[in-house]
């Protein structure tokens, strides 16, 4: 049982983009919008979406250049402001004006941009292992792998490659978990090889001169005040430091809960007990209004 329907929308610049739509109940609660990380896609949220579906409508988009969404003609459109515009068009098409955002890494940056520009849209927010300040160690690691093509003869080979590269991020994972991650990150190509399921050119904006320069995002944290907000941090994260996460919680104030997911790096998969419990508490707060 899939539990979702596949659907599509058009970006402002004419790309056909894909999303998964998991049906919810009929009690009028806001949908949950799941925004994935840089190299991830809608499949990344399968455990969360399947757990919530039936009670909550869960919408999981593939950002441009990922999975079943079209690749951009201009790789310099692979930037957060363009993703924000794409998501804005999706929300308009679905007539959604209020939702709970769950943003992992890049998806959390998009969530922060939503708070800065349309905070009235947010019934609640999860920022998963991302913040206004990112540690260089994590950024260097991401720069080292994003946009580097990989090809494997079997799913087990792909899983073993993931384990070799990310064993310190998910030290408790066994082969079953690595295989599940491989099925979310890779696809089978026409030549029968297992390859990464994104446009390798998403790396180009990161490597362009000034590609990482941006506005100071710390003032945005105040936009989450009075919005139920869950700040998730992997206990082994090399991207979001504990002091940064603690400062985020102070900046947001009483509406924020900071949860550290033990023995996980960047980023929690959202099926860990601490993450599951934190998300459930957040959704309870959303329902209480």
pLDDT for 26 equals 83
> Same domain for 189 and 131?
no
> Same domain for 72 and 172?
no
> Same domain for 49 and 61?
yes
Boundary of a domain, candidates 157, 172, 197: 197
For residue 160, the enclosing domain spans: 148-197
Boundary of a domain, candidates 197, 226, 260: 197
CATH of the domain at 55: 3.40.50.1820
> Same domain for 113 and 79?
yes
What does each of the 289 residues of the chain score in pLDDT, given as a tens digit? 468 999 999 999 999 999 999 999 888 999 999 999 999 999 999 999 999 999 999 999 999 999 999 999 999 999 999 999 999 999 999 999 999 999 999 999 999 999 999 999 999 999 999 999 999 999 888 888 888 888 999 999 999 999 999 999 999 999 999 999 999 999 999 999 999 999 999 999 988 765 454 678 999 999 999 999 999 999 999 999 999 999 999 999 999 999 999 999 999 999 999 999 999 999 999 999 8
> Same domain for 244 and 101?
yes
> Same domain for 111 and 242?
yes
> Same domain for 176 and 41?
no
pLDDT for 1 equals 44
> Same domain for 249 and 156?
no
pLDDT for 208 equals 74
> Same domain for 127 and 177?
no
> Same domain for 102 and 62?
yes
> Same domain for 71 and 136?
yes
pLDDT for 2 equals 60
> Same domain for 187 and 218?
no
pTM of the model: 0.96
Boundary of a domain, candidates 197, 230, 259: 197
pLDDT for 144 equals 86
- How many domains would you assign to the chain? 2
DSSP per-residue string spanning the chain: ---EEEEEEE-TTS-EEEEEEE---SS-PPPEEEE--TT--GGGGHHHHHHHTTTS-EEEEPPTTBTTSPPPSSGGG-SHHHHHHHHHHHHHHHT---EEEEEETHHHHHHHHHHHHHGGGEEEEEEES--SS--HHHHHHHHHHTT---EESSHHHHHHHHHHHHTTTSTT--HHHHHHHHHHHEEE-TTS-EEESB-GGGGHHHHSTTTT-----GGGGGGGTTS-EEEEEETT-SSS-HHHHHHHHHHH-TTEEEEEETT--S---S-SHHHHHHHHHHHHHHHH-
């Amino acid at each position: 049982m899939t539990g979702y329907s596949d659907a599509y929308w058009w970006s402002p610049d004419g790309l056909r983009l894909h999303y998964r739509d998991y049906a919810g109940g009929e009690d009028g609660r806001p949908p949950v919008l799941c925004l994935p990380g840089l190299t991830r896609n809608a499949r990344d949220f399968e455990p969360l979406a399947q757990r919530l579906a039936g009670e909550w409508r869960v919408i999981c988009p593939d950002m441009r250049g990922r999975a079943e969404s079209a690749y951009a003609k201009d790789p310099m459109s692979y930037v957060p402001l363009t993703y924000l515009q794409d998501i804005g068009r999706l929300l308009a098409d679905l007539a959604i004006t209020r939702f709970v955002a769950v943003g992992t890494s890049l998806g959390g940056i998009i969530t922060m941009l939503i708070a800065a520009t349309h905070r009235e849209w947010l019934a609640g927010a999860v920022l998963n292992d991302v913040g206004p300040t990112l540690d260089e160690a994590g950024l260097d690691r991401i720069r080292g792998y994003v946009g580097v093509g990989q090809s494997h003869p079997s799913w087990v080979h792909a899983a073993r490659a993931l384990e070799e590269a990310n064993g310190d991020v998910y030290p408790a994972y066994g082969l079953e978990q690595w295989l599940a991650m491989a099925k979310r990150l890779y696809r089978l190509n026409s030549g029968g090889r297992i390859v990464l399921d994104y446009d390798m050119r998403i790396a180009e904006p990161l490597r362009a001169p000034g590609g990482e320069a941006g506005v100071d995002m710390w003032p945005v944290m105040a936009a989450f005040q009075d919005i139920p907000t869950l700040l998730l941090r992997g206990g082994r994260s090399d991207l979001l430091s504990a002091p940064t996460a603690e400062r985020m919680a102070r900046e947001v104030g009483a509406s924020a809960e900071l949860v550290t997911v033990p023995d996980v790096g960047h980023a929690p998969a959202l099926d860990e007990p601490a993450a599951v419990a934190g998300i459930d508490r957040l959704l309870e707060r959303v329902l209480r209004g």
